[in-house]
């Protein structure tokens, strides 16, 4: 059975930069407070009229160009997002139309910050079974329009952006995606959620007044859950492939909080230098985080053929997962 190989990466971040100094003017916070607790110095905000699908398309075009694949050659598009342009149709359908990928079937995956990893795992199954030859995996998020800009515990964390991966089968035994491992525990759904806007709390004056359409988070509980879950799932992925932490050349982690990443790396007994960090410039871009980070690492020339790369992500649900590949 063929393995899945990443043959192109791309990312997109909006032009508008919102710094910690800017946030000091609109909410009770400080640059020192944000930087010390999160590692974030600035984040990007989508322009007025710019939608999630627009960002996804920009990232996809860069990934396709690098892969040497035309949109009409794609068989599948999977978009990880919880901030689609509209409830229906899917963001993926709009991306398919904007790219001109007429042959591709397309759908969204809603796993919040773990969305891109979930999308990659789903697309991987289509590649491995031979049903798909060329697939586009995207993580795209526009959370700046789903934030309470008076809540300093959440509004300082998130930024907008998109990342994309083009994947294809490979018969090379020394390369490709070795395995993915996905998990969910819905009993923790209330520690990170956007409670309003769905069928439980449909749009109404009360939803708007109580800010139920914005991100609500119990930061302490999310931190504890994330550190344990990410370390355990990464250990599981390595063990499944007969690998040890010392075998890993690079870690591509969801960029949620530098303290979470540092704690996970300590549990894995890996030096932090193995983990590519960009949350200082982009903040937490949710599902876009993993492919954006991988694209940066790839384009920097840091990844070499045969390198063992471990990936991990966690999001609302709680949903989380890990993956291991040989680059």
- 262-308, pLDDT tens digit by residue? 999 999 999 999 999 999 999 999 999 999 999 999 999 999 999 99
Per-residue confidence at 173, pLDDT binned at 50, 70, 90?
Answer: confident
Class of domain 3-173: alpha beta
pLDDT in tens, 65-116: 999 999 999 999 999 999 999 999 999 999 999 999 999 999 999 999 999 9
Per-residue confidence at 2, pLDDT binned at 50, 70, 90?
Answer: confident
Among residues 20, 91, 113, 257, the one annotated as catalytic is 113
Burial grade of 217 (CB within 10 A; 0-12, 13-18, 19 or more): middle
Q: Is the pTM of this model over 0.85?
A: yes
Q: With contact defined as beta carbons under 8 Å apart, do 163 and 10 qualify?
A: yes
Among residues 216, 254, 257, 298, the one annotated as catalytic is 254
Any idea where the domains of the chain sit in the sequence? Answer: 3-173, 177-326
Among residues 155, 216, 250, 284, the one annotated as catalytic is 284
- Please say if 91 is a catalytic residue: no
Per-residue confidence (pLDDT) for residue 174, from 0 to 100: 82
Say how far apart CA 17 and CA 173 lie, in whole Å: 43
What percentage of the chain has pLDDT greater than the value 90? 97
* Domains 3-173 and 177-326 alike in fold: yes
The yes/no answer on whether domain 177-326 falls in CATH 3.40.47.10 is yes
Say how far apart CA 23 and CA 45 lie, in whole Å: 13
Per-residue confidence at 203, pLDDT binned at 50, 70, 90?
Answer: very high
Say how far apart CA 315 and CA 222 lie, in whole Å: 9
Per-residue confidence at 317, pLDDT binned at 50, 70, 90?
Answer: very high
Q: Which helix (H) or strand (E) holds 239?
A: helix 219-240
Q: With contact defined as beta carbons under 8 Å apart, do 179 and 237 qualify?
A: yes
């Amino acid at each position: 059975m063929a393995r899945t190989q990443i043959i192109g990466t791309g990312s997109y971040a909006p032009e508008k930069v919102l710094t910690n100094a800017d946030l000091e003017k609109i909410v009770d916070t400080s640059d020192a407070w944000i930087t010390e607790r999160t590692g974030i110095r600035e984040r990007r905000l989508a322009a007025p009229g710019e939608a999630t699908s627009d960002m996804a398309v920009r990232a996809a075009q860069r990934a396709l160009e690098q892969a040497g694949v035309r949109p009409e050659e794609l068989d599948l598009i999977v978009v990880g997002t919880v901030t689609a342009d509209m409830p229906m149709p899917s963001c993926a359908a709009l991306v398919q139309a904007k790219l001109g990928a007429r042959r591709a079937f397309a759908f969204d995956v809603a796993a919040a910050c773990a969305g891109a990893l979930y999308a990659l795992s789903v697309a991987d199954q289509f590649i491995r079974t031979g049903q798909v030859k060329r697939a586009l995996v995207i993580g795209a998020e526009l959370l700046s329009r789903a934030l309470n800009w008076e809540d300093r515990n959440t509004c300082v964390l998130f930024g907008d952006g998109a990342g994309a991966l083009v994947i294809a089968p490979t018969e090379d035994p020394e390369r490709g995606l070795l395995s993915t491992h996905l998990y969910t525990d819905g009993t923790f759904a209330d520690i990170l959620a956007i409670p309003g806007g769905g069928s439980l709390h449909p749009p109404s004056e009360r939803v708007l007044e109580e800010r139920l359409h914005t991100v609500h988070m119990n930061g302490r509980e999310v931190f504890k859950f994330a550190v344990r879950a990410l370390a355990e799932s990464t250990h599981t992925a390595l063990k499944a492939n007969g690998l040890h932490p010392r075998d890993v050349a690079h870690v591509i982690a969801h960029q949620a909080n530098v303290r979470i990443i540092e704690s996970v790396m300590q549990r894995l007994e890996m030096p932090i230098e193995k983990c590519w960090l960009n949350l200082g410039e982009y903040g937490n871009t949710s599902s876009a985080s993993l492919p954006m980070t991988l694209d940066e690492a790839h384009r920097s020339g840091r990844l070499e053929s045969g390198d063992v790369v471990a990936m991990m992500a966690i999001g609302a649900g709680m949903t989380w997962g890990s993956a291991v590949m040989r680059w």
